[in-house]
Structure 1
Amino acid sequence: MQFDFDISEPIYLQVAEQIEDAIFTGAFPANNQIPSTTEISKQFHINPATVLKGMNILVNEGLLEKRRGMGTFVTIDGQKRVVEKRHSQFYENFVVDMIHEADKLKLGQDEVLKLIQRGYQHDND
């Protein structure tokens, strides 16, 4: 994990994003314990309340669960939930904007699909 103390994004959101990303990539697998609030706060010199606030976001989203006396664990469907969330965000943040821009440029669906295919081909060259 790496935190940027010089940007405007609050640290607790960075904590949530970094843990979510670790769940997404499988670094924190389903049903496994994640580092404690104390461990993260000591390692990165962050206030424990700030770390807890970030973790609680993920608990509320169903990605983490607290087990009394045991710690915090990734939920069984945590990774699936992250993938679903990111699919939705991808659609909302990129696809919808792309379609609006295509409409402004008077590009039809077939033309947009050709551009997307061209982008994939360019990446594979």
Structure 2
Amino acid sequence: MHFDFSSAEPIYQQVADQIEEAIFAGAFVEGTQIPSTTEISREFKINPATVLKGMNILVEQQLIEKRRGLGMFVMSGAQNKIIAKRKASFYEDYVKSLIIESKKLGLSRSDLQGLIEKGYRHE
């Protein structure tokens, strides 16, 4: 994890985003325990209440759950929920701006499709 203390984005949101990314990437597998509030706060010198606020965002989204006396665990289906959320926002976050920029460049639909195909061939 890496936190940008000079960012306009609140630290608690960065905590939530980075844990979500780790779940998405498979670093925190469903059913496994994530680092405790204390561990994260100590390692990155962040107020424990700030870390907990970030974790509570993920609890509300039903991505992680608190197990009394044990800690926080990745919920079953969490990775699929993240994928579904990201697919739903993909158009707004990426495709829309891609189309706007391609129109500014004078690229046709077939030009853009060709570039996308080229990208798939090279990946």
* TM-score above 0.5, yes or no: yes
- CA–CA separation in structure 2 for the residues paired with 1:41 and 1:106: 49
Q: Give the letter aligned to residue 75 of structure 1.
A: M
- Tell me, yes or no, if structure 1 residue 6 matches structure 2 residue 6: yes
CA offsets 1:32-82 (integer angstroms, 9 cap, x no match): 111111111111110011001110111111111112222111010111111
Q: Give the letter aligned to residue 16 of structure 2.
A: A
In structure 2, the residue matched to 1:26 is 26
CA offsets 1:102-123 (integer angstroms, 9 cap, x no match): 4564723x332112112333x3
TM-score, normalised on structure 1?
0.85
- Tell me, yes or no, if structure 1 residue 16 matches structure 2 residue 16: yes
SS in 1 for 2:16: helix
Number of residue-to-residue matches in the alignment: 122
- CA–CA separation in structure 1 for the residues paired with 2:5 and 2:107: 43
- CA–CA separation in structure 2 for the residues paired with 1:39 and 1:106: 50
- CA–CA separation in structure 2 for the residues paired with 1:26 and 1:54: 19
In structure 2, the residue matched to 1:89 is 89
Map of 1:85-124 to 2, 5 A cutoff? 85-102=85-102, 105=106, 107-108=108-109, 110-121=110-121, 123-124=122-123
Pair 1:118–1:34, CA change in 2 (3 A): same
- CA–CA separation in structure 1 for the residues paired with 2:54 and 2:7: 17
- CA–CA separation in structure 1 for the residues paired with 2:6 and 2:51: 17
- CA–CA separation in structure 1 for the residues paired with 2:74 and 2:24: 11
TM-score, normalised on structure 2?
0.87
Q: Give the letter aligned to residue 32 of structure 1.
A: T
- CA–CA separation in structure 1 for the residues paired with 2:69 and 2:14: 26
- CA–CA separation in structure 2 for the residues paired with 1:106 and 1:6: 38
Taking only aligned residues, the RMSD between alpha carbons, in angstroms, comes to 1.8
